[in-house]
Amino acid sequence: MAQNPKGDLISDLADTLLSGSGLNLSDIVDSVAENVGGKSADSFPVLSSANWWALRNRFKKNIPATITKKWVSDVLDITAATAEKNILPVLKQIGFISATGKTTDRAEAWTSDSKYEQICERIKKDVYPADLREMDSSTKTAQAKITSWFKKKTGAAETTAKRMTSFYLLLDESLPENAAEKSSGTSASKKTPSSAKSLSVNIRIDFPSNTAARQFDEILSDIASQVHAKVSNLS
């Protein structure tokens, strides 16, 4: 069956928006360039912090013998198509499931607080080359260089490279005391003050052709429709 890159793109962006992991115009522009434009990139894991902690907290309760797209979609509240395309491949890359979806000893060890950092270190050694692991990551400047490394190595757009960087840096973090809170994507610091001032932003986008502009407009309209449908189902 022929794949529908546009449909996958819309589902991915809609799920990202609703997951609370953040979405802005740059995400949309870069995703359109990669998916609609037919650009492919070598793969390094991309998994949001919220999904990382949600999966770990679920694993701590019970680790199924086999991880399916339905199981992932239920746990992360995303579509089965997004789970199959974006989450299952990452779980295979980092050694949590086998090629057939069977959970591994590494996945079980990941749920142990005492083994957490050791598992993250193993993932780094298995997935990332030595020249990347030897790079400094302690400052914003150093992290920007890591993003540039991902862009050069994979040919990915800026936003995708930043997401690769975010996951790579997540593996270096110590196990937080509020890991369960992280999975919910909520915290007191995220509340918007009642006295917050409004902000107006003007953005200009230049399209190479009328066809590209119309395609971009169609994608935004489809995203809005999917988000509206999902919000309506929340009640």
Residue-wise pLDDT tens digits, 96-125: 999 999 999 999 999 999 999 999 999 999
> Around 8, how many Cα atoms within 13 Å sit in the side-chain half-sphere?
16
The full set of domain ranges for the chain reads 19-43+131-173+204-230, 45-127
* Inter-residue contact 180 to 113 (CB < 8 Å): no
Q: With a cut of 90, say whether residue 54 has pLDDT above it.
A: yes
For 45-127, CATH gives: 1.10.10
Give the residue with greater pLDDT, 185 vs 204. 204
> How confident is the model over 47-74, as a mean pLDDT?
95
Give the tokens for residue 57. 């907290």
| Mean pLDDT over the full length of the chain | 77
Residue-wise pLDDT tens digits, 62-107: 999 999 999 999 999 999 999 999 999 999 999 999 999 999 999 9
pLDDT band at 175 (very low <50, low <70, confident <90, very high): confident
For tokens 């790079």, the residue is 135
pLDDT band at 176 (very low <50, low <70, confident <90, very high): confident
Output the CA–CA distances (angstroms, integers) from residue 32 to 6, 161, 194, 201, in the order listed: 8, 15, 35, 22
